[in-house]
C-alpha cells in the first residue's frame, strides 16, 4: 500500500474539519467518534498536521481543532506529503558498476517518471474537492 492508514485517517479528518470550518473548533473526540478513528492515534496525526500549519489547535474548554487553510488552496499532494512524507518510488541497490549505464540508467528515469505522474495526479485535487457530506436525513432517505 502506497498510502498508509495514517494518511487515510488524516485525510478524512481534514475533510471533516473542512466542513465544520465556520462552526469553530471541533474536539478530537467528536472527530474520532464520527469517523471511527482511534482517538489517541488521531491525536498524533492532528498534532503533526498542527505543526505543519494545516490545522490549528486550541487548548482548554471549548477548544479543539480548526482547519487553518483554505480547502481549495491545499492539494492532495501537499496533504499526503505532510502526513506520510514524500512518496518514494524506487531505490536502486546496485553498486555503481552494476547499474546498466552508471549514473544514467534508464531505470532511474522510468521511476522518476512514475513519481512525476503520481504527483501530477495528486496535485490536481484540493481538499475542497472532497466533501464530508453528513448523509443528512437519517439515511432511510427519499421522501419521508
Partner DNA sequence: CGAAAAGCGGACCTCAATGGTCCTATTCAG
Partner DNA sequence: CTGAATAGGACCATTGAGGTCCGCTTTTCG
What residue ranges bind a second copy (CB under 8 A)? 1-3, 5, 7-9, 11-12, 15, 34-36, 76, 87-95, 97-98, 100-102, 105-107, 110-111, 113-114, 117-118, 120-122, 125, 129-133, 135, 139
Task: Return the one option of DNA, ligand FES, a second copy, none that residue 108 interacts with (CB less than 5 to 8 A, by type).
Answer: ligand FES
The Cα 25–Cα 84 span in angstroms is: 25
Contacts of 40 (CB under 8 A, 6+ apart): none
| Nearest distance in Å: CB 61, DNA | 4
Task: Return the one option of ligand FES, DNA, a second copy, none that residue 36 interacts with (CB less than 5 to 8 A, by type).
Answer: a second copy
The Cα 124–Cα 116 span in angstroms is: 12
| 107 touches ligand FES by CB under 6 A | yes
Can you point out the beta strands (E) in the chain?
Answer: 55-58, 64-67
Whether the CB-CB separation of 82 and 6 falls below 8 Å is answered with no
Amino acid at each position: 500500500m502506497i498510502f498508509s492508514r495514517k494518511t487515510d485517517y488524516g485525510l478524512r479528518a481534514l475533510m471533516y474539519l473542512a466542513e465544520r470550518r465556520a462552526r469553530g473548533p471541533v474536539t478530537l473526540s467528536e472527530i474520532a467518534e464520527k469517523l471511527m478513528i482511534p482517538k489517541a492515534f488521531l491525536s498524533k496525526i492532528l498534532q503533526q498536521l498542527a505543526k505543519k500549519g494545516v490545522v490549528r489547535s486550541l487548548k482548554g474548554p471549548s477548544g479543539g481543532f480548526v482547519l487553518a487553510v483554505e480547502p481549495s488552496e491545499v492539494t492532495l499532494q501537499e496533504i499526503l506529503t505532510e502526513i506520510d512524507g514524500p512518496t518514494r518510488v524506487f531505490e536502486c541497490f546496485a553498486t555503481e558498476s552494476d547499474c546498466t549505464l552508471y549514473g544514467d540508467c534508464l531505470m532511474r528515469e522510468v521511476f522518476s517518471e512514475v513519481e512525476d505522474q503520481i504527483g501530477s495526479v495528486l496535485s490536481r485535487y484540493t481538499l475542497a474537492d472532497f466533501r464530508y457530506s453528513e448523509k443528512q436525513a437519517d439515511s432511510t432517505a427519499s421522501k419521508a
